[in-house]
Structure 1
């Protein structure tokens, strides 16, 4: 029984060696990662608040625009966007890399078998012998990782896996902002097209009235030409607006992973421009370190390359491996393991870097320089995120002021145009005054629509800058391509290929 066997002196020394090596394997070299501490402002510089702001409400922020179609498009974009699919594939790659790195910490075992038939003849005699030889066995090895090279590799791979997940969050954050922004722009162009058509129709009526007055001798040919020219100028705005609208729809379709014209019919019916409920809480600058995926991605990459410094440093130290093999040989297959010869070997091997021409030290310096670059990138990501929030706060605040002034402007110009038309019909005002009033009204109304679009766009930008992304489940485990017939098979002739199964 195995439990009754007692180790002899050689076995005892071998076990002691294993225990000693295992205890040494807890040693690592190189710097341990520490999350950097950055001094941040306690409040936003452009947020005029008497008391600290509440934490930002980032969960499904787009739903506060109260537009069911926008909600549907965002769901479709998360499921079908190709950049998201790429990020999910990177997560699968990072996870596989982590498992691959972890395998280096475990022993490896390889099996081998062979069968040989041979014939031996003696020179000058008729005697000859024919025989068979069968051999089976396995080889095993285990790198003890005394100075933590493999463990630093695993550590770097783990941080890389975290970084891949943050990259997916960053991709989703950008995607949600783009879908919402292009949707709002599309609704804005629809509103501007409708305004241009209404205004052109009104100006055509004015032109017809002017023509009647001219025929009655109460107006001049110059007035008729100016009236027709203004209507045509307004109509000339429509093709550019239609082009911009189509481009926004095409971009939305591509963002959802479909051909450009896919959403044209669904968005054809005009809807109001989504308008947010303001103001919104912005929290404090430190919140960006916890919520913004670009910042979290940069921090994970910095951690990953800190571990790579230890990986490069460990290459300068000796490495010890335990290797062993067992083999059995017999003249018949049935003899293997019983009526055969059995051989085994076991022992450590030591590799010591003595002279490498400075390559190993240079590799450490390369890793340190790369680590420094990612630390600077992390600091840059933090400052950029803070800048984006500050810019969005200012833009949203100032655009609301602008929109209020434009609304007052539209009211006054509408009154002026209405009164001017009445006075012109009664002959109490010149046509040029009416022409200017209608032109000013159209310009002010168009500017007000653009300002309403800008308010919602700034709201989207602020939520994006604060780190508002997708909080739902994203399945990154399903591959885009499902391989079939991957086992042994006959090779196809050159130029031919087998079909692949795409994910539905």
Structure 2
């Protein structure tokens, strides 16, 4: 009884919830002005200061793209896994909350009691028992409360992870759609180049028959056509690969890709500056940052769970039951009950508990470092994506000017050659320059769409 009284005094005398209360990290990278201000690379006219939208793909104004993203968010296999993980985390929260409720136990049994000294032929006495036990945890030191805090923070971290998958799926659909359209667009551009070169080949063959050209001119023109034709299968392969990727994102087998977009040859285009927001908005929005912050909260609560083990765990318990020979059941002698506090205490294992506390505290320190690393990665990815997009726009503009110049040069060389004022090598060189300019400009335009997706993915768009 003295040990019992001592345990209750120790517990009730220090009845505050065990462990530290969680507070958002105050000395983290995320709280610095440099992390929360405007992005350094967003000073270009390619960007606007407005908040980045969640459904950023709608900025393209493409109904087919919107429908594909909606379908993928409903059927994607990775998202189904993430949704199942979230349901499991919610079930864990319910389980932990249930440990705070009243628990009941029903037990019973029967036994044959036959003392050996009375002789082996005696029938003996049959004893019956039935017991109902109740226990309600007082949670004086808040171990259960801290466990609930940890499970709820874990659930929020899983929710953030699900949001990250949503953002990745949305970005993947836009990339695959743009990849399909971009491959067909590149295919169309290069087919026009092949058509132009084939016209030159036909003209060269006619001139050779008329005595104004040579077999060498014909063979060079034919080689130019065949070299350009050799680039076409690669674009077809890129288109098919993008379609198969899109099918997988939609939760379908590769052969079940959406046929309605297989012929798309128009790149998704944004005719407005990209809204980016600032670093503070990014930190609030990015799912990986939210997951890292929730991990700190969960593991901070687990320090309290470990600290609570230093103190006795007290429950109010009671039991009622009947016990005795079958013939005496129901009599006052067979009835019994008990009521009082139930205490469990791992006092002899305090070094082990201290070690668990140290482990929990170290885990929080690791979480804080991981939080900083996640924020820095997010900021770096965003600045890099913004820079690549701004420079990509400049590259497309420069290559467009170069393509226009090459087109004029090729047209002029063709006219000069037809009138005999220029040699055939000059014409071929002009057409080769045009083909190269068209290919580089087309590739840059396709890459620019991918750069746009990088920007929105880095900004953490794609969830609500």
Would you say same fold, with TM above 0.5?
yes
User: Match of 1:46, SS?
Assistant: helix
**CA RMSD for the aligned pairs?**
2.9
User: Match of 2:230, SS?
Assistant: helix
Q: CA 1:269 to 1:125, structure 2 compared with 1: closer, same or farther past 3 Å?
A: closer
For residues 248 and 404 of structure 1, the distance between their equivalents in structure 2, rounded to whole angstroms, comes to: 26
Of 218, 222, 226 in structure 2, the residue corresponding to residue 224 of structure 1 is 218
Task: Work out whether residues 386 and 455 of structure 2, in 8 Å CA contact, stay in contact via their aligned partners in 1.
Answer: yes
Task: Work out whether residues 396 and 441 of structure 2, in 8 Å CA contact, stay in contact via their aligned partners in 1.
Answer: yes
User: Match of 2:42, SS?
Assistant: coil
* Pairing 1:40-51 to 2, within 5 Å after superposition: 40-41=33-34, 42-48=37-43
Residue equivalent to 1:247: 241
For residues 72 and 457 of structure 1, the distance between their equivalents in structure 2, rounded to whole angstroms, comes to: 19
Shift of 1:275: 0.1
Higher relative contact order (CA 8 A, sep 6+): 2
* Pairing 1:99-248 to 2, within 5 Å after superposition: 99-115=94-110, 128=122, 133-248=127-242
User: Match of 1:142, SS?
Assistant: strand
Residue equivalent to 2:91: 96
User: Match of 1:358, SS?
Assistant: helix
Residue equivalent to 1:497: none
For residues 293 and 119 of structure 2, the distance between their equivalents in structure 1, rounded to whole angstroms, comes to: 81
For residues 121 and 363 of structure 1, the distance between their equivalents in structure 2, rounded to whole angstroms, comes to: 52
Shift of 1:254: 0.6
* Pairing 1:449-460 to 2, within 5 Å after superposition: 449-460=442-453
For residues 304 and 277 of structure 1, the distance between their equivalents in structure 2, rounded to whole angstroms, comes to: 44
Of 34, 44, 50 in structure 2, the residue corresponding to residue 55 of structure 1 is 50
For residues 427 and 238 of structure 1, the distance between their equivalents in structure 2, rounded to whole angstroms, comes to: 33
* 146-155 vs 321-330, which moves further: 321-330
* Pairing 1:273-292 to 2, within 5 Å after superposition: 273-292=267-286
Task: Work out whether residues 309 and 367 of structure 1, in 8 Å CA contact, stay in contact via their aligned partners in 2.
Answer: yes
Task: Work out whether residues 29 and 148 of structure 1, in 8 Å CA contact, stay in contact via their aligned partners in 2.
Answer: yes
Shift of 1:22: 10
User: Match of 2:349, SS?
Assistant: coil
For residues 176 and 124 of structure 1, the distance between their equivalents in structure 2, rounded to whole angstroms, comes to: 83
For residues 455 and 24 of structure 1, the distance between their equivalents in structure 2, rounded to whole angstroms, comes to: 67
Shift of 1:353: 3.4
Shift of 1:165: 0.9
* Pairing 1:358-437 to 2, within 5 Å after superposition: 358-437=351-430
Residue equivalent to 1:496: none
Shift of 1:441: 1.2
User: Match of 2:79, SS?
Assistant: helix
Q: CA 1:21 to 1:145, structure 2 compared with 1: closer, same or farther past 3 Å?
A: farther
1:32 aligns with 2:21: yes
Instruction: Could you tell me which runs of 5 or more consecutive residues in structure 2 were left unpaired when the two chains were aligned.
Output: 1-5
Of 296, 299, 302 in structure 2, the residue corresponding to residue 302 of structure 1 is 296
Shift of 1:251: 0.9
Q: Deviations over 1:27-56 (max 9, x none)?
A: 222221101232132222122279x96431
For residues 125 and 157 of structure 1, the distance between their equivalents in structure 2, rounded to whole angstroms, comes to: 59
Q: Deviations over 1:311-368 (max 9, x none)?
A: 22222333333333211247669x9667772111233343443443832222122111
Residue equivalent to 1:319: 313
For residues 98 and 151 of structure 2, the distance between their equivalents in structure 1, rounded to whole angstroms, comes to: 12
Instruction: Could you tell me which runs of 5 or more consecutive residues in structure 1 were left unpaired when the two chains were aligned.
Output: 1-16, 472-504
Of 63, 69, 72 in structure 2, the residue corresponding to residue 74 of structure 1 is 69
Q: Deviations over 1:119-152 (max 9, x none)?
A: 88985798x5576554322122334333222221
* 410-419 vs 213-222, which moves further: 213-222
Q: Deviations over 1:2-36 (max 9, x none)?
A: xxxxxxxxxxxxxxx9x999977952222211012
For residues 355 and 118 of structure 1, the distance between their equivalents in structure 2, rounded to whole angstroms, comes to: 39
Runs of 4+ in 1 over 6 A off after TM superposition: 19-25, 117-122, 330-333
Q: Deviations over 1:243-297 (max 9, x none)?
A: 1211111111111111112115232222310101221222221111221111111
Task: Work out whether residues 110 and 139 of structure 1, in 8 Å CA contact, stay in contact via their aligned partners in 2.
Answer: yes
Task: Work out whether residues 320 and 349 of structure 1, in 8 Å CA contact, stay in contact via their aligned partners in 2.
Answer: yes
Shift of 1:451: 2.0
Q: Which has the higher helix share?
A: 2
Task: Work out whether residues 73 and 179 of structure 1, in 8 Å CA contact, stay in contact via their aligned partners in 2.
Answer: yes
User: Match of 1:113, SS?
Assistant: strand
For residues 205 and 44 of structure 2, the distance between their equivalents in structure 1, rounded to whole angstroms, comes to: 58
User: Match of 1:47, SS?
Assistant: helix
Task: Work out whether residues 181 and 263 of structure 2, in 8 Å CA contact, stay in contact via their aligned partners in 1.
Answer: no
For residues 158 and 393 of structure 2, the distance between their equivalents in structure 1, rounded to whole angstroms, comes to: 38
